[in-house]
Structure 1
Amino acid sequence: MSTVFSGTHSRRTLLRAGLFIGGAVAAPSILRSSESNRAFLPEPGASAAAAAEPPAMSVPNGVRPELFHRALAALDRHSGRIAKRDIIAIADFNDFSAKPRFQLINLEDGSVKELLVAHGSGSDPKHSGYVQHFSNEPGSNATCEGAFVTSNYYTGKHGHSQRVDGLDPTNNNARDRAIVIHGAWYANADMIDKYGQLGRSQGCFAVGEKHLKQVFAKLGEGRLLYAGKA
Protein backbone atom coordinates (compact mmCIF):
# COMPACT_ATOMS: atom_id res chain seq x y z
CA MET A 1 0.00 0.00 0.00
CA SER A 2 2.73 2.36 0.89
CA THR A 3 4.47 1.74 -2.44
CA VAL A 4 1.32 2.50 -4.45
CA PHE A 5 0.68 5.63 -2.41
CA SER A 6 4.23 6.84 -2.93
CA GLY A 7 4.05 6.23 -6.69
CA THR A 8 0.76 8.01 -7.01
CA HIS A 9 2.02 10.85 -4.90
CA SER A 10 5.16 11.10 -7.03
CA ARG A 11 3.16 11.14 -10.26
CA ARG A 12 0.89 13.88 -8.91
CA THR A 13 3.91 15.84 -7.82
CA LEU A 14 5.48 15.47 -11.25
CA LEU A 15 2.24 16.46 -12.99
CA ARG A 16 1.97 19.57 -10.85
CA ALA A 17 5.59 20.39 -11.46
CA GLY A 18 5.13 19.85 -15.20
CA LEU A 19 2.14 22.17 -15.27
CA PHE A 20 4.09 24.75 -13.34
CA ILE A 21 7.08 24.45 -15.66
CA GLY A 22 4.80 24.53 -18.72
CA GLY A 23 3.10 27.62 -17.41
CA ALA A 24 6.41 29.24 -16.74
CA VAL A 25 7.53 28.47 -20.28
CA ALA A 26 4.24 29.64 -21.78
CA ALA A 27 4.07 32.86 -19.75
CA PRO A 28 6.88 34.70 -21.58
CA SER A 29 5.31 33.88 -24.95
CA ILE A 30 1.93 35.18 -23.73
CA LEU A 31 3.60 38.33 -22.47
CA ARG A 32 5.46 38.75 -25.74
CA SER A 33 2.18 38.28 -27.63
CA SER A 34 0.45 40.88 -25.45
CA GLU A 35 3.30 43.34 -25.90
CA SER A 36 3.27 42.73 -29.64
CA ASN A 37 -0.48 43.35 -29.85
CA ARG A 38 -0.18 46.43 -27.66
CA ALA A 39 2.05 48.06 -30.25
CA PHE A 40 -0.88 48.15 -32.67
CA LEU A 41 -3.39 49.55 -30.17
CA PRO A 42 -4.05 53.33 -30.00
CA GLU A 43 -2.91 55.24 -26.97
CA PRO A 44 -5.66 55.61 -24.34
CA GLY A 45 -7.86 58.57 -25.23
CA ALA A 46 -6.22 59.10 -28.63
CA SER A 47 -9.35 58.28 -30.62
CA ALA A 48 -11.48 60.45 -28.33
CA ALA A 49 -9.09 63.38 -28.78
CA ALA A 50 -9.14 62.97 -32.55
CA ALA A 51 -12.93 62.82 -32.57
CA ALA A 52 -13.16 65.95 -30.41
CA GLU A 53 -11.00 68.00 -32.79
CA PRO A 54 -13.32 69.68 -35.36
CA PRO A 55 -12.34 69.74 -39.02
CA ALA A 56 -10.90 72.99 -40.34
CA MET A 57 -13.56 75.20 -41.91
CA SER A 58 -13.06 75.73 -45.62
CA VAL A 59 -13.25 79.23 -47.07
CA PRO A 60 -16.62 79.82 -48.80
CA ASN A 61 -16.58 80.61 -52.52
CA GLY A 62 -15.96 84.28 -53.29
CA VAL A 63 -14.67 85.14 -49.81
CA ARG A 64 -11.13 86.43 -49.42
CA PRO A 65 -9.27 83.79 -47.33
CA GLU A 66 -7.23 86.20 -45.20
CA LEU A 67 -10.28 88.22 -44.18
CA PHE A 68 -12.28 85.06 -43.53
CA HIS A 69 -9.61 83.68 -41.20
CA ARG A 70 -9.33 87.04 -39.43
CA ALA A 71 -13.10 87.07 -38.96
CA LEU A 72 -13.10 83.56 -37.47
CA ALA A 73 -10.26 84.53 -35.13
CA ALA A 74 -12.27 87.59 -34.05
CA LEU A 75 -15.31 85.38 -33.48
CA ASP A 76 -13.30 83.34 -30.98
CA ARG A 77 -11.45 86.30 -29.49
CA HIS A 78 -14.67 88.15 -28.73
CA SER A 79 -16.82 85.12 -27.91
CA GLY A 80 -17.95 86.78 -24.69
CA ARG A 81 -19.53 89.65 -26.67
CA ILE A 82 -20.83 87.80 -29.73
CA ALA A 83 -23.83 85.68 -28.79
CA LYS A 84 -24.66 84.20 -32.20
CA ARG A 85 -22.09 82.37 -34.32
CA ASP A 86 -24.12 80.94 -37.20
CA ILE A 87 -23.91 83.92 -39.57
CA ILE A 88 -21.24 86.61 -39.94
CA ALA A 89 -20.74 89.59 -42.24
CA ILE A 90 -17.48 90.65 -43.86
CA ALA A 91 -17.03 94.08 -45.46
CA ASP A 92 -14.17 93.45 -47.90
CA PHE A 93 -12.72 96.87 -48.63
CA ASN A 94 -10.05 95.56 -50.96
CA ASP A 95 -12.56 95.81 -53.78
CA PHE A 96 -13.84 98.75 -55.82
CA SER A 97 -17.10 100.23 -54.55
CA ALA A 98 -18.99 99.04 -57.64
CA LYS A 99 -18.33 95.44 -56.53
CA PRO A 100 -20.56 93.66 -53.99
CA ARG A 101 -18.24 93.93 -50.97
CA PHE A 102 -20.65 93.22 -48.11
CA GLN A 103 -20.74 89.45 -47.64
CA LEU A 104 -23.32 87.69 -45.47
CA ILE A 105 -21.81 84.28 -44.72
CA ASN A 106 -23.70 81.32 -43.30
CA LEU A 107 -21.09 79.33 -41.38
CA GLU A 108 -23.37 76.30 -41.13
CA ASP A 109 -23.86 75.65 -44.85
CA GLY A 110 -21.15 77.86 -46.43
CA SER A 111 -23.58 79.97 -48.46
CA VAL A 112 -22.72 83.61 -49.19
CA LYS A 113 -24.94 86.57 -50.09
CA GLU A 114 -23.05 89.55 -51.53
CA LEU A 115 -24.34 93.13 -51.51
CA LEU A 116 -23.08 96.62 -52.32
CA VAL A 117 -21.79 98.76 -49.44
CA ALA A 118 -20.41 102.30 -49.41
CA HIS A 119 -17.31 103.38 -47.50
CA GLY A 120 -16.56 106.64 -45.69
CA SER A 121 -15.52 109.81 -47.53
CA GLY A 122 -12.62 110.24 -45.11
CA SER A 123 -11.19 106.92 -46.31
CA ASP A 124 -11.36 108.01 -49.95
CA PRO A 125 -10.96 111.82 -50.16
CA LYS A 126 -10.52 111.87 -53.95
CA HIS A 127 -13.52 109.60 -54.52
CA SER A 128 -11.49 106.96 -56.32
CA GLY A 129 -13.91 104.21 -55.39
CA TYR A 130 -11.31 102.50 -53.20
CA VAL A 131 -10.63 102.68 -49.45
CA GLN A 132 -7.23 104.34 -49.13
CA HIS A 133 -6.97 104.17 -45.34
CA PHE A 134 -9.01 103.47 -42.20
CA SER A 135 -9.48 105.72 -39.19
CA ASN A 136 -11.04 105.42 -35.75
CA GLU A 137 -10.83 109.17 -35.10
CA PRO A 138 -14.01 111.11 -34.32
CA GLY A 139 -14.84 113.57 -37.09
CA SER A 140 -12.73 111.73 -39.67
CA ASN A 141 -15.76 110.52 -41.71
CA ALA A 142 -13.61 107.46 -42.42
CA THR A 143 -14.41 103.78 -42.37
CA CYS A 144 -12.85 101.94 -39.43
CA GLU A 145 -11.56 98.38 -39.52
CA GLY A 146 -11.83 95.43 -37.17
CA ALA A 147 -14.50 93.37 -35.46
CA PHE A 148 -17.92 94.79 -34.62
CA VAL A 149 -20.92 93.23 -32.91
CA THR A 150 -24.35 94.17 -34.24
CA SER A 151 -26.55 95.89 -31.68
CA ASN A 152 -30.02 97.46 -31.43
CA TYR A 153 -32.23 98.97 -34.12
CA TYR A 154 -33.48 102.53 -34.09
CA THR A 155 -34.94 105.14 -36.42
CA GLY A 156 -32.79 108.23 -37.02
CA LYS A 157 -31.75 110.69 -39.71
CA HIS A 158 -30.98 107.80 -42.09
CA GLY A 159 -34.28 106.08 -41.37
CA HIS A 160 -34.31 102.55 -39.98
CA SER A 161 -30.75 101.81 -38.80
CA GLN A 162 -28.75 99.41 -36.66
CA ARG A 163 -26.02 100.32 -34.21
CA VAL A 164 -22.74 98.40 -34.09
CA ASP A 165 -20.14 98.32 -31.33
CA GLY A 166 -16.44 98.22 -32.17
CA LEU A 167 -14.57 95.49 -30.29
CA ASP A 168 -10.99 96.31 -31.30
CA PRO A 169 -8.67 99.28 -30.64
CA THR A 170 -9.04 100.15 -34.34
CA ASN A 171 -12.80 100.71 -34.07
CA ASN A 172 -13.72 101.17 -30.42
CA ASN A 173 -15.01 104.71 -31.11
CA ALA A 174 -17.71 103.38 -33.45
CA ARG A 175 -20.58 103.97 -31.01
CA ASP A 176 -19.43 107.52 -30.20
CA ARG A 177 -18.96 108.24 -33.92
CA ALA A 178 -22.48 106.96 -34.66
CA ILE A 179 -21.14 104.32 -37.07
CA VAL A 180 -24.21 102.27 -38.02
CA ILE A 181 -25.71 100.10 -40.73
CA HIS A 182 -28.31 101.98 -42.77
CA GLY A 183 -29.77 102.20 -46.24
CA ALA A 184 -28.80 105.04 -48.60
CA TRP A 185 -29.70 106.18 -52.10
CA TYR A 186 -26.00 106.62 -52.91
CA ALA A 187 -25.46 102.88 -52.24
CA ASN A 188 -28.11 101.76 -54.74
CA ALA A 189 -27.07 99.85 -57.86
CA ASP A 190 -28.25 102.63 -60.20
CA MET A 191 -25.36 104.79 -58.94
CA ILE A 192 -23.02 102.44 -60.80
CA ASP A 193 -24.98 102.93 -64.03
CA LYS A 194 -24.78 106.71 -63.65
CA TYR A 195 -21.35 107.28 -62.12
CA GLY A 196 -19.50 103.98 -62.31
CA GLN A 197 -19.26 103.68 -58.52
CA LEU A 198 -21.16 104.25 -55.30
CA GLY A 199 -21.28 107.44 -53.31
CA ARG A 200 -19.60 107.73 -49.91
CA SER A 201 -20.89 107.70 -46.35
CA GLN A 202 -19.61 109.46 -43.23
CA GLY A 203 -18.03 106.20 -42.10
CA CYS A 204 -21.20 104.13 -41.85
CA PHE A 205 -21.91 100.82 -43.57
CA ALA A 206 -24.43 102.17 -46.08
CA VAL A 207 -26.16 99.51 -48.18
CA GLY A 208 -28.72 99.76 -50.97
CA GLU A 209 -32.13 100.85 -49.74
CA LYS A 210 -33.96 97.80 -51.04
CA HIS A 211 -31.43 95.44 -49.43
CA LEU A 212 -31.54 96.89 -45.92
CA LYS A 213 -34.33 94.59 -44.68
CA GLN A 214 -32.41 91.59 -45.96
CA VAL A 215 -29.30 92.65 -44.05
CA PHE A 216 -31.30 93.16 -40.87
CA ALA A 217 -33.06 89.81 -41.27
CA LYS A 218 -29.80 87.92 -41.82
CA LEU A 219 -27.64 89.62 -39.20
CA GLY A 220 -30.00 90.52 -36.41
CA GLU A 221 -28.47 91.50 -33.09
CA GLY A 222 -25.43 89.91 -31.48
CA ARG A 223 -23.54 88.80 -34.60
CA LEU A 224 -20.09 89.58 -35.98
CA LEU A 225 -19.39 92.16 -38.67
CA TYR A 226 -15.75 92.25 -39.71
CA ALA A 227 -14.38 95.10 -41.85
CA GLY A 228 -10.92 95.31 -43.36
CA LYS A 229 -8.49 94.82 -46.22
CA ALA A 230 -6.19 91.85 -46.81
Structure 2
Amino acid sequence: MEKTSVVQRKRFLKRRAQRAARRVLPFLASLFLATPLATSVSKSMAATASTAEVRLPRVAPTRAMLFDQRLRDQYAALNAESQGLRYEVFEKAMTGYLNLRQAGQLADDRQVLTVVDFDLPSTEKRLWVFDLATNETLFHTLVAHGHNTGENEANSFSNVNDSNMSSLGFYVTGDEYEGKHGHSLHLNGMDEDFNTNAYARSIVMHGAEYVSEDFIRQYGRLGRSLGCPALPMDQYSQIIDAVTGGTCLFLNKSDAGYSSRYLNQDAAIAVALPEAAPMS
Protein backbone atom coordinates (compact mmCIF):
# COMPACT_ATOMS: atom_id res chain seq x y z
CA MET A 1 0.00 0.00 0.00
CA GLU A 2 2.83 2.31 0.87
CA LYS A 3 4.52 1.66 -2.45
CA THR A 4 1.30 2.33 -4.32
CA SER A 5 0.80 5.70 -2.65
CA VAL A 6 4.34 6.77 -3.53
CA VAL A 7 3.80 5.91 -7.17
CA GLN A 8 0.50 7.72 -7.21
CA ARG A 9 2.10 10.78 -5.65
CA LYS A 10 4.84 10.88 -8.30
CA ARG A 11 2.24 10.64 -11.05
CA PHE A 12 0.27 13.44 -9.47
CA LEU A 13 3.31 15.76 -9.27
CA LYS A 14 4.24 14.98 -12.89
CA ARG A 15 0.75 15.85 -14.15
CA ARG A 16 0.78 19.10 -12.17
CA ALA A 17 4.13 20.11 -13.66
CA GLN A 18 2.84 19.43 -17.19
CA ARG A 19 -0.28 21.53 -16.57
CA ALA A 20 1.90 24.41 -15.26
CA ALA A 21 4.13 24.17 -18.32
CA ARG A 22 1.13 24.37 -20.65
CA ARG A 23 0.00 27.54 -18.89
CA VAL A 24 3.42 29.25 -18.97
CA LEU A 25 4.55 28.41 -22.53
CA PRO A 26 1.95 30.58 -24.34
CA PHE A 27 2.95 33.52 -22.17
CA LEU A 28 6.64 33.06 -22.93
CA ALA A 29 5.91 32.73 -26.65
CA SER A 30 3.93 35.95 -26.75
CA LEU A 31 6.66 37.72 -24.80
CA PHE A 32 9.33 36.50 -27.25
CA LEU A 33 7.35 37.61 -30.31
CA ALA A 34 6.75 41.05 -28.85
CA THR A 35 10.47 41.65 -28.20
CA PRO A 36 12.56 42.90 -31.26
CA LEU A 37 15.53 40.77 -32.24
CA ALA A 38 18.99 41.91 -31.21
CA THR A 39 19.86 42.82 -34.80
CA SER A 40 16.75 44.95 -35.09
CA VAL A 41 17.66 46.71 -31.87
CA SER A 42 21.17 47.34 -33.17
CA LYS A 43 19.87 48.71 -36.46
CA SER A 44 17.39 50.88 -34.69
CA MET A 45 20.09 52.25 -32.39
CA ALA A 46 22.46 52.77 -35.31
CA ALA A 47 19.81 54.66 -37.27
CA THR A 48 19.08 56.80 -34.25
CA ALA A 49 22.78 57.47 -33.75
CA SER A 50 23.18 58.31 -37.42
CA THR A 51 20.24 60.68 -37.32
CA ALA A 52 21.56 62.22 -34.16
CA GLU A 53 25.12 62.62 -35.53
CA VAL A 54 26.63 65.90 -34.56
CA ARG A 55 26.20 68.25 -37.48
CA LEU A 56 28.98 70.79 -37.34
CA PRO A 57 28.10 74.26 -38.50
CA ARG A 58 29.25 75.01 -42.04
CA VAL A 59 32.34 77.21 -41.82
CA ALA A 60 32.76 79.87 -44.48
CA PRO A 61 36.09 79.53 -46.29
CA THR A 62 38.70 82.16 -45.52
CA ARG A 63 40.23 84.32 -48.24
CA ALA A 64 43.46 82.34 -47.87
CA MET A 65 41.56 79.11 -48.51
CA LEU A 66 39.83 80.56 -51.56
CA PHE A 67 43.15 81.87 -52.88
CA ASP A 68 44.81 78.48 -52.42
CA GLN A 69 41.94 76.73 -54.19
CA ARG A 70 42.09 79.16 -57.10
CA LEU A 71 45.83 78.55 -57.52
CA ARG A 72 45.37 74.78 -57.25
CA ASP A 73 42.67 74.89 -59.92
CA GLN A 74 44.98 76.77 -62.28
CA TYR A 75 47.88 74.45 -61.40
CA ALA A 76 45.67 71.51 -62.36
CA ALA A 77 44.43 73.21 -65.54
CA LEU A 78 48.03 73.79 -66.62
CA ASN A 79 48.82 70.13 -65.92
CA ALA A 80 51.92 71.43 -64.17
CA GLU A 81 52.36 68.56 -61.73
CA SER A 82 52.76 65.97 -64.48
CA GLN A 83 55.44 68.21 -65.98
CA GLY A 84 57.47 68.13 -62.77
CA LEU A 85 56.65 71.56 -61.35
CA ARG A 86 55.87 71.32 -57.64
CA TYR A 87 52.86 73.21 -56.34
CA GLU A 88 54.85 75.12 -53.70
CA VAL A 89 57.08 76.58 -56.42
CA PHE A 90 54.09 77.44 -58.61
CA GLU A 91 52.40 79.10 -55.62
CA LYS A 92 55.42 81.35 -55.00
CA ALA A 93 55.69 82.21 -58.67
CA MET A 94 51.99 83.10 -58.89
CA THR A 95 52.12 85.17 -55.71
CA GLY A 96 54.93 87.27 -57.15
CA TYR A 97 53.25 87.47 -60.54
CA LEU A 98 50.07 88.88 -58.99
CA ASN A 99 51.95 91.40 -56.87
CA LEU A 100 54.07 92.57 -59.79
CA ARG A 101 50.91 93.02 -61.83
CA GLN A 102 49.32 95.01 -59.02
CA ALA A 103 52.45 97.17 -58.84
CA GLY A 104 52.11 97.99 -62.55
CA GLN A 105 55.38 96.27 -63.44
CA LEU A 106 53.94 93.84 -65.99
CA ALA A 107 52.47 94.44 -69.44
CA ASP A 108 48.69 94.83 -69.34
CA ASP A 109 48.12 92.77 -72.47
CA ARG A 110 50.28 89.78 -71.51
CA GLN A 111 49.60 87.01 -68.99
CA VAL A 112 52.79 85.01 -69.35
CA LEU A 113 54.68 83.47 -66.43
CA THR A 114 58.10 81.82 -66.71
CA VAL A 115 59.35 79.62 -63.87
CA VAL A 116 62.83 78.17 -63.35
CA ASP A 117 63.28 75.71 -60.48
CA PHE A 118 66.92 75.42 -59.47
CA ASP A 119 65.99 72.75 -56.93
CA LEU A 120 66.20 70.44 -59.96
CA PRO A 121 69.56 69.48 -61.51
CA SER A 122 70.63 70.82 -64.88
CA THR A 123 69.98 67.42 -66.46
CA GLU A 124 66.23 67.88 -65.96
CA LYS A 125 63.84 70.16 -67.76
CA ARG A 126 63.41 72.90 -65.17
CA LEU A 127 62.06 75.88 -67.12
CA TRP A 128 58.34 76.36 -67.83
CA VAL A 129 56.60 79.10 -69.77
CA PHE A 130 52.87 79.36 -69.08
CA ASP A 131 50.15 81.35 -70.79
CA LEU A 132 47.89 82.03 -67.81
CA ALA A 133 45.11 83.41 -70.00
CA THR A 134 44.64 80.10 -71.83
CA ASN A 135 46.12 77.75 -69.19
CA GLU A 136 48.59 76.49 -71.75
CA THR A 137 52.19 75.38 -71.26
CA LEU A 138 54.08 77.11 -74.06
CA PHE A 139 57.50 75.62 -73.29
CA HIS A 140 59.04 73.11 -70.89
CA THR A 141 62.74 72.74 -71.43
CA LEU A 142 66.33 72.76 -70.18
CA VAL A 143 68.02 75.87 -68.80
CA ALA A 144 71.59 76.47 -67.64
CA HIS A 145 72.81 78.13 -64.45
CA GLY A 146 75.94 80.16 -63.78
CA HIS A 147 79.44 78.68 -63.85
CA ASN A 148 80.10 79.39 -60.16
CA THR A 149 76.61 78.43 -59.09
CA GLY A 150 77.50 74.75 -59.18
CA GLU A 151 78.19 71.75 -61.37
CA ASN A 152 75.01 69.78 -62.09
CA GLU A 153 73.29 71.22 -59.00
CA ALA A 154 72.68 74.94 -58.50
CA ASN A 155 73.79 75.83 -54.97
CA SER A 156 75.42 79.29 -54.89
CA PHE A 157 73.88 82.58 -55.99
CA SER A 158 74.98 86.19 -56.16
CA ASN A 159 73.94 89.69 -57.18
CA VAL A 160 77.56 90.80 -57.53
CA ASN A 161 79.19 91.72 -60.83
CA ASP A 162 81.73 89.21 -62.18
CA SER A 163 80.55 86.55 -59.74
CA ASN A 164 79.55 84.30 -62.67
CA MET A 165 76.64 83.10 -60.55
CA SER A 166 72.91 82.98 -61.17
CA SER A 167 70.65 85.38 -59.27
CA LEU A 168 67.42 84.24 -57.65
CA GLY A 169 64.06 85.97 -57.57
CA PHE A 170 61.55 87.82 -59.69
CA TYR A 171 62.43 89.48 -62.97
CA VAL A 172 60.47 91.47 -65.52
CA THR A 173 61.50 90.80 -69.10
CA GLY A 174 62.78 93.74 -71.12
CA ASP A 175 63.50 94.24 -74.80
CA GLU A 176 64.96 91.88 -77.36
CA TYR A 177 68.27 92.71 -78.97
CA GLU A 178 71.02 91.16 -81.08
CA GLY A 179 74.24 90.66 -79.14
CA LYS A 180 77.30 88.41 -78.94
CA HIS A 181 74.97 85.44 -78.31
CA GLY A 182 72.69 86.42 -81.18
CA HIS A 183 69.01 86.98 -80.42
CA SER A 184 68.84 87.84 -76.69
CA LEU A 185 66.52 89.33 -74.08
CA HIS A 186 67.24 91.86 -71.33
CA LEU A 187 66.10 90.99 -67.81
CA ASN A 188 65.29 93.46 -65.05
CA GLY A 189 65.77 92.12 -61.51
CA MET A 190 63.07 93.21 -59.05
CA ASP A 191 64.44 91.89 -55.74
CA GLU A 192 66.81 94.16 -53.82
CA ASP A 193 70.01 92.37 -52.75
CA PHE A 194 69.20 89.34 -54.90
CA ASN A 195 69.00 90.30 -58.58
CA THR A 196 68.75 94.08 -59.00
CA ASN A 197 72.19 94.17 -60.66
CA ALA A 198 71.10 91.77 -63.36
CA TYR A 199 70.82 94.39 -66.10
CA ALA A 200 74.23 95.89 -65.26
CA ARG A 201 75.75 92.40 -65.16
CA SER A 202 74.26 91.62 -68.59
CA ILE A 203 72.25 88.73 -67.17
CA VAL A 204 70.07 87.96 -70.19
CA MET A 205 68.20 85.16 -71.89
CA HIS A 206 70.12 83.72 -74.83
CA GLY A 207 70.77 80.45 -76.61
CA ALA A 208 73.81 78.25 -76.01
CA GLU A 209 75.19 75.10 -77.65
CA TYR A 210 75.96 73.64 -74.22
CA VAL A 211 72.24 73.50 -73.33
CA SER A 212 71.24 70.23 -74.98
CA GLU A 213 70.56 66.55 -74.40
CA ASP A 214 73.72 65.75 -76.38
CA PHE A 215 75.84 67.79 -73.99
CA ILE A 216 74.25 65.98 -71.03
CA ARG A 217 74.99 62.58 -72.56
CA GLN A 218 78.60 63.58 -73.10
CA TYR A 219 79.36 65.36 -69.82
CA GLY A 220 76.65 64.24 -67.40
CA ARG A 221 75.32 67.80 -66.97
CA LEU A 222 74.63 70.97 -68.94
CA GLY A 223 77.30 73.51 -69.68
CA ARG A 224 77.24 76.67 -67.57
CA SER A 225 76.84 80.36 -68.31
CA LEU A 226 78.25 83.50 -66.70
CA GLY A 227 75.02 83.77 -64.73
CA CYS A 228 72.46 83.88 -67.55
CA PRO A 229 69.50 81.50 -67.85
CA ALA A 230 70.82 80.11 -71.14
CA LEU A 231 68.41 78.15 -73.34
CA PRO A 232 68.56 75.37 -75.98
CA MET A 233 69.51 76.58 -79.45
CA ASP A 234 66.46 75.00 -81.07
CA GLN A 235 64.03 76.85 -78.78
CA TYR A 236 65.64 80.01 -77.41
CA SER A 237 64.40 82.39 -80.10
CA GLN A 238 60.80 81.18 -79.84
CA ILE A 239 60.93 81.41 -76.04
CA ILE A 240 62.31 84.95 -76.16
CA ASP A 241 59.56 85.97 -78.56
CA ALA A 242 56.94 84.47 -76.22
CA VAL A 243 58.15 86.15 -73.02
CA THR A 244 59.52 89.49 -74.23
CA GLY A 245 58.22 92.89 -73.17
CA GLY A 246 57.03 92.97 -69.58
CA THR A 247 56.31 89.40 -68.48
CA CYS A 248 57.23 87.72 -65.20
CA LEU A 249 60.20 85.40 -64.71
CA PHE A 250 60.82 83.63 -61.38
CA LEU A 251 64.03 81.78 -60.50
CA ASN A 252 63.49 79.55 -57.48
CA LYS A 253 65.82 77.79 -55.05
CA SER A 254 64.56 76.48 -51.72
CA ASP A 255 66.52 77.04 -48.51
CA ALA A 256 68.86 79.56 -50.13
CA GLY A 257 67.96 82.50 -47.88
CA TYR A 258 65.85 84.15 -50.55
CA SER A 259 63.08 86.54 -49.53
CA SER A 260 60.99 89.04 -51.46
CA ARG A 261 58.37 91.67 -50.85
CA TYR A 262 56.58 90.21 -53.85
CA LEU A 263 55.90 87.04 -51.87
CA ASN A 264 53.39 88.92 -49.71
CA GLN A 265 50.41 86.57 -49.93
CA ASP A 266 47.91 88.99 -48.37
CA ALA A 267 48.61 91.49 -51.13
CA ALA A 268 48.33 88.77 -53.78
CA ILE A 269 44.99 87.62 -52.34
CA ALA A 270 43.63 91.16 -52.65
CA VAL A 271 44.56 91.10 -56.34
CA ALA A 272 43.22 87.60 -57.03
CA LEU A 273 40.00 87.94 -55.00
CA PRO A 274 38.86 91.56 -55.20
CA GLU A 275 35.24 90.42 -55.23
CA ALA A 276 35.47 88.44 -51.97
CA ALA A 277 34.39 90.21 -48.80
CA PRO A 278 37.10 90.36 -46.11
CA MET A 279 37.05 87.34 -43.83
CA SER A 280 38.89 86.59 -40.62
Could you state the TM-score of these two structures normalised by the residue count of structure 1? 0.72
Alignment-mate amino acid for residue 193 of structure 1:
R
Alignment-mate amino acid for residue 69 of structure 1:
E
Distance 2:221 2:145 in 1: 11
Distance 2:148 2:223 in 1: 12
- 1:11 matched to which residue of 2? none
Identity over the aligned pairs, expressed in percent? 34
Matches within 5 A, 1:13-162: 56-58=70-72, 59=75, 60-61=80-81, 62-79=84-101, 80-84=104-108, 85-112=110-137, 113-124=139-150, 127=151, 129-162=152-185
| Number of residues of Structure 1 aligned to a counterpart in Structure 2 | 177
**Is contact 1:78-1:167 (8 Å) kept?**
no
**Is contact 1:138-1:177 (8 Å) kept?**
yes
Q: CA deviation at 1:156?
A: 1.1
Distance 2:216 2:134 in 1: 31
Cα deviations by residue, 1:183-209 (Å, 9 ceiling, x for unpaired): 001112210121121000000010011
Could you state the TM-score of these two structures normalised by the residue count of structure 2? 0.59
- 2:216 matched to which residue of 1? 192
State yes or no: 1:178 paired with 2:202. yes
Distance 1:102 1:69 in 2: 15
Distance 2:71 2:238 in 1: 25
Alignment-mate amino acid for residue 158 of structure 2:
S
Q: Which runs of 4+ in 1 moved over 4 A?
A: none
Alignment-mate amino acid for residue 215 of structure 2:
M
Q: CA deviation at 1:218?
A: 2.1
Q: CA deviation at 1:224?
A: 0.3
Q: CA deviation at 1:147?
A: 0.3
Distance 1:139 1:220 in 2: 25
State yes or no: 1:218 paired with 2:237. no
Alignment-mate amino acid for residue 72 of structure 1:
M
**Is contact 2:149-2:164 (8 Å) kept?**
yes
More strand as a share of residues: 1
More helix as a share of residues: 2
The runs of 5 or more residues in structure 1 that have no matched partner are: 1-49
- 2:227 matched to which residue of 1? 203
Distance 2:191 2:70 in 1: 25
Q: CA deviation at 1:121?
A: 0.8
Distance 1:117 1:142 in 2: 14
Alignment-mate amino acid for residue 252 of structure 2:
G
Cα deviations by residue, 1:56-97 (Å, 9 ceiling, x for unpaired): 122232322222111111112222111155221001101110
Cα deviations by residue, 1:14-36 (Å, 9 ceiling, x for unpaired): xxxxxxxxxxxxxxxxxxxxxxx
Give SS of 1:117's match: coil
